[in-house]
Amino acid sequence: MRTPLLLVARTLVTLCAASVLIFVLLRLVPGDPAQVALGVDATPELVQATRERFGLDRPLVVQYLEWMGGLLTGHFGTSFVSGQEMSAVVLDRTAVTLWLALPSIALALLIATVLGTWAALRRRSVDGLVITVGSQMLMAVPGFLAGVLLVLGLSLGLGWLPPSGWVVPADDPAAFLAHLVLPVLALTAVQAAILTRYVREAMLEVIGQDYIVEARSKGLTRGQALVRHGLRNAAVPVLTVTGVQLSALLVGAVVIESVFDVPGVGSLLVEAVAGRDMVSVQGIVMVLVLITVVLNLCVDLLHTVIDPRTRA
């Protein structure tokens, strides 16, 4: 039932359905896109000319197919508002967000694996409890509050790091890293708290398993047994959560981007929404949906690889 091929096919179906949904949803925007783009002072002739120039006077099906054709060849369309081809901008801004999201999730996973395992092993002692309670509390802190406090403390207070902004990595790697630290830290803190909880619970589950008992009977300490055999088995649920968190993070980073003034894809989306730049909104949403769907697919494939039973 769940062969990788079927999973990929389903993903494609989801993508197609999502693209139709996006296209239709954005056609529901009140008002004529050309009129919205040109503003209130535009003359009717100009609006009509713009409609024709952007092909808005043709049947919706044709417009949809053209949009899809453009997407497949890497052309997201020309913005009515800025007059720019959006593909390069959307992809580039997505790369910026990935720079925030990927290191954050990787770092969070690393921290969570250590702290979560520790908390599971020492669940009855004070330090285990501290980790558990701490992660519980940190989970409740909104990411942007963490960001604002980081700026106040590490940047404006101590002057260690720039409070906001972005440097292209190839231009100046050192400055790039300096600008990356605070936003990544803000994202990591919250994500690590969430993942720590999952690692801890997953580890608690494997602790009582037969093979751990067996390994211990061979002379390993509980910690050794857990690290050697438990981690691998706890990986499935934890990686599943990580996948979900990562896809949520791509959009969720928009708040952190706003705090740190990082030109990520989320802030591009918010700009496009404010300017009613529907060509851009459409393209950005499609890219984000694509990434989400692919991440979901990866998680599914992971299941079939790690857990052969699900391939039956």
Judged by CB under 8 A, the chain residues 91 through 150 that form the site for other proteins are 91-93, 95-96, 98-99, 123, 136-137, 139-145, 148
Stretch of 62-70, 108-116, 217-225, 301-309 lying at the interface with other proteins (CB under 8 A): 301-309
AA letter at 105: I
Where is 283: in which H helix or E strand?
helix 278-306
Site string for other proteins, 202-241 (x = CB under 8 A): x-xxxxxxxx---------------------x--xx--xx
Q: How many CB atoms lie within 10 A of CB 199?
A: 29
CB 300 within 8 Å of CB 134 = no
Compute the distance between CA of residue 192 and CA of residue 163 in angstroms, rounded to an integer: 22
The token pair at 304 is 């079939």
Q: How many CB atoms lie within 10 A of CB 145?
A: 13
Least separation, in Å, of the C-beta of 91 and other proteins? 7
Binders of other proteins among 141-200, rule CB under 8 A? 141-145, 148, 151-152, 155-156, 159, 162-172, 174-175, 178-179, 190-191, 194, 198
Stretch of 58-66, 69-77, 218-226, 270-278 lying at the interface with other proteins (CB under 8 A): 270-278
Burial class (CB in 10 A: 0-12, 13-18, 19+), 83: exposed
Binders of other proteins among 24-43, rule CB under 8 A? 25-26, 28-29, 31, 36, 38-43
Stretch of 54-62, 69-77, 90-98, 109-117 lying at the interface with other proteins (CB under 8 A): 90-98
